[in-house]
Amino acid sequence: MRKHAHLQKTSYIVIILVVIFVCFTMNYLSYQAEYRSFSASDFSGDWFADGSNFNLNAISTRDFGGSVVLTKTLPEEIRYNDALCFMSTNSFFDIYIGEDRVYTYSQPVNFTGYGYGLAYHSVNLSPEQAGKTIRIEMSGPAHSNLRGWIRMLSIESSQEYFARLARGKLMSYIISVGIALIGILILLFKLIAPKTGNKINTIALGITAVISGLWTALDTGFTRLVMNSIISSRSLTYLCMHICFLPLVLFIYSITKGQKKVLKWTACGISAVYYAVILIARFGFGRDMASNAMIKCFFVYGLLMLALLIPMIYDDYKYFTKNGFNRSSGFFLLGTVTAVVCIVADCIIYACGVRSISGYASFSRVGCFVFFLNTGIEVVRIWAKEYASLKESGFEDALTGVRNRRSYADFEEGNKDRYPYGFIMCDINALKRENDDKGHASGDRLIRTVAGKLVNAFGAQYVFRVGGDEFIAYSFEETEDRFLEKLEQIRTQLSEKDASASVGGVFVSDGTRDRSEVKTAAEKLMYAEKERYYTTHNDRRR
């Protein structure tokens, strides 16, 4: 056993090192793509402003109080397919050659603020412009302290420029799209896979993967490069980064055994307060989403949400330790450790102010890909194990897919000391009339409809078909009011489906009431409701 554990840890370390190697390789290839042939066409140096020479790659509008006029002489030889190619961030400018204005760029205030992020430009040149003075009148966004800059200015073919950048971004973009596709597959699996009663929040996992994939794909700048979708890309980027934490925390909550609801609602509360703060700051006080204050606010929010994972994981550890179990983490642990290592690496790179051609998330997108792939595999593996066990043990009702009478007996034995709980008895009304009038196929549909509504309300693991038209369900809500709301929800949903069932439920807060007494009380309530149904419908066919 010890040898197996040592081998498993070694394999984890090897895989993580391979992932880091892939990240470095991708960044190196991106770097090569970004700078290949650039030195020969570089036009960034020796620009004249305020009586001094500057390299465009080293200055911003903030260095000149928000605006600057830069001048330089074009080369004596310019070919017909040459263009002035460069990238800019948060800067508006007019470009003049001689006295002619040849290019203007500006963006209106948008959903995220006054800035707009990274943009790519190509200004066609002609041999007649050789040797003339080029002038760039550049300013940063109004009412904002954002840095505006122009980088990597070159004179080359615009087709080669855009192709070179696209090649450098393509692999990173494909990995990001892969993350989103994993999320879509997880959501599809949730829709088509038979229910086993497992409470893992697969929907939250799928949504987190889709958001993370979209976020990291936009971070590469590939969509801006090939589609020129600047404002929409920026808006989606900030939307994704602000909403990704909540579904991730809800998923982690669902896979831990402690599941203290206060932690889940705390996560929702923190998120609600945070969303209110950033909306007020943006639309009430006009703060730019990329300002230092807003970025710091985002990091504080992220740290608070991640801090909530500590008690969740600790409660999970206590549960398994107390019961003498060993949690089989497998793929999930590997994916989590890999993602954390990669995200930490990107945070360090971001703090150093380095951005590669494929954005800030150069390591994180690979880590996220490994995390969601491994976690998706783990979820499917757990589902397959539970589904096979359910089938093999004969604990499933063949018609409805819920648990049967045999499963009910085992469930009660294993949960006899669990409080508080609600006990529900349900009997379908007029099933015989449905069979007589419309056939047994219609009657089977009615049975499945009632079973489905019970499952939606109480969960598949707590619903049991104990007779032809009889069901028993358990609810483990913490308050009687919430339990009664569930009962009313069942009645409402059944009436919307033109189905009818008599439902009797009793809430038990502690162990002072005998279970047989509870069942008798629920049965009486159910039969009282059934009597009212048949009295009003004047039909005794059950």
CATH number of the domain that residue 424 is part of:
3.30.70.270
For the cut 60, the answer to whether the pLDDT of residue 12 exceeds it is no
Task: Give pLDDT, residue 520.
Answer: 92
283 and 413: one domain? Answer: no
Assign 393 a pLDDT band (cuts: 50, 70, 90). Answer: low
Read off the pLDDT of residues 398-431 as tens digits, 9 standing for 90 and up. 888 888 888 888 888 878 888 889 999 999 988 8
454 domain residue, yes or no: yes
For the cut 70, the answer to whether the pLDDT of residue 31 exceeds it is no
Read off the pLDDT of residues 127-164 as tens digits, 9 standing for 90 and up. 999 999 999 999 887 666 678 889 889 898 888 888 88
- Give the range among 19-28, 246-255, 420-429 with minimum mean pLDDT: 19-28
Closest CA to 470 of 527, 509, 391: 527
Task: Give pLDDT, residue 355.
Answer: 62
3-class DSSP assignment, residue 463: strand
- Give the range among 39-43, 95-99, 292-296, 527-531 with minimum mean pLDDT: 39-43
3-class DSSP assignment, residue 471: strand
pTM of this prediction exceeds 0.75: no
Q: Which domain holds residue 309?
A: 2-34+166-389
179 and 214: one domain? Answer: yes
Q: Are 396 and 407 in contact (CB under 8 A)?
A: yes
Q: Is 516 exposed, middle or buried (0-12, 13-18, 19+ CB in 10 A)?
A: exposed
Mean pLDDT, rounded, for 309-321: 71
188 domain residue, yes or no: yes
% of the chain exceeding 90 in pLDDT? 26
CA distance 351 to 296: 12
% of the chain exceeding 70 in pLDDT? 84
Boundary residue ending a domain (389, 421, 446): 389
Boundary residue ending a domain (360, 389, 418): 389
305 and 230: one domain? Answer: yes
- 27 or 44: which carries more pLDDT confidence? 44
- 115 or 459: which carries more pLDDT confidence? 459
Task: Give pLDDT, residue 287.
Answer: 85
170 domain residue, yes or no: yes
Assign 538 a pLDDT band (cuts: 50, 70, 90). Answer: low
186 and 289: one domain? Answer: yes
Assign 16 a pLDDT band (cuts: 50, 70, 90). Answer: low
48 and 106: one domain? Answer: yes
b/e 263-276 (16+ beta carbons within 10 angstroms → b)? bbebbeebbeebee
Task: Give pLDDT, residue 234.
Answer: 84
Assign 228 a pLDDT band (cuts: 50, 70, 90). Answer: confident
Centre a 10 Å sphere on the Cβ of residue 532 and count the other Cβ atoms it contains: 11
Q: Sign (positive/negative) of CA torsion 429, 432, 437, 440? A: positive
Assign 464 a pLDDT band (cuts: 50, 70, 90). Answer: very high
372 domain residue, yes or no: yes
Task: Give pLDDT, residue 118.
Answer: 83
Assign 115 a pLDDT band (cuts: 50, 70, 90). Answer: confident
DSSP state letter for 283: I
For the cut 80, the answer to whether the pLDDT of residue 125 exceeds it is yes
For the cut 90, the answer to whether the pLDDT of residue 188 exceeds it is yes
- Give the range among 415-419, 466-470, 482-486 with minimum mean pLDDT: 415-419
CA distance 515 to 508: 9
Task: Give pLDDT, residue 2.
Answer: 47
150 domain residue, yes or no: yes
398 domain residue, yes or no: yes
319 and 370: one domain? Answer: yes
Give the CATH number, domain containing residue 137.
Answer: 2.60.120
The residues near 536 (Cβ < 8 Å, ≥ 6 apart) are none
Read off the pLDDT of residues 58-79 as tens digits, 9 standing for 90 and up. 888 888 888 899 999 999 999 9
CA distance 70 to 138: 8
Q: Are 59 and 132 in contact (CB under 8 A)?
A: no
82 domain residue, yes or no: yes
Return the structure tokens found at 46: 């020796």
542 domain residue, yes or no: no
27 and 78: one domain? Answer: no
139 and 180: one domain? Answer: no
136 and 228: one domain? Answer: no
3-class DSSP assignment, residue 485: helix
158 and 170: one domain? Answer: no
Task: Give pLDDT, residue 36.
Answer: 56
Q: Are 157 and 343 in contact (CB under 8 A)?
A: no
Domain count of the fold of the chain: 3
3-class DSSP assignment, residue 141: coil
CA distance 120 to 163: 12
For the cut 70, the answer to whether the pLDDT of residue 20 exceeds it is no
426 and 468: one domain? Answer: yes
Read off the pLDDT of residues 345-377 as tens digits, 9 standing for 90 and up. 777 877 776 666 566 777 788 888 888 888 888
Assign 50 a pLDDT band (cuts: 50, 70, 90). Answer: confident
Task: Give pLDDT, residue 324.
Answer: 46
- 305 or 498: which carries more pLDDT confidence? 305
Mind spelling out the 3-state secondary structure of 381-407? HHHHHHHHHHHHHCCECCCCCCECHHH
CA angle 187, 191, 197 (to 5 degrees): 105
CA distance 369 to 342: 11
380 and 467: one domain? Answer: no
For the cut 90, the answer to whether the pLDDT of residue 310 exceeds it is no
CA distance 299 to 312: 21
Task: Give pLDDT, residue 326.
Answer: 47
Boundary residue ending a domain (144, 162, 180): 162
Closest CA to 91 of 44, 143, 149, 136: 149
CA distance 462 to 424: 10
Q: Sign (positive/negative) of CA torsion 386, 391, 396, 399? A: positive
3-class DSSP assignment, residue 37: coil
DSSP state letter for 140: P
For the cut 80, the answer to whether the pLDDT of residue 318 exceeds it is no
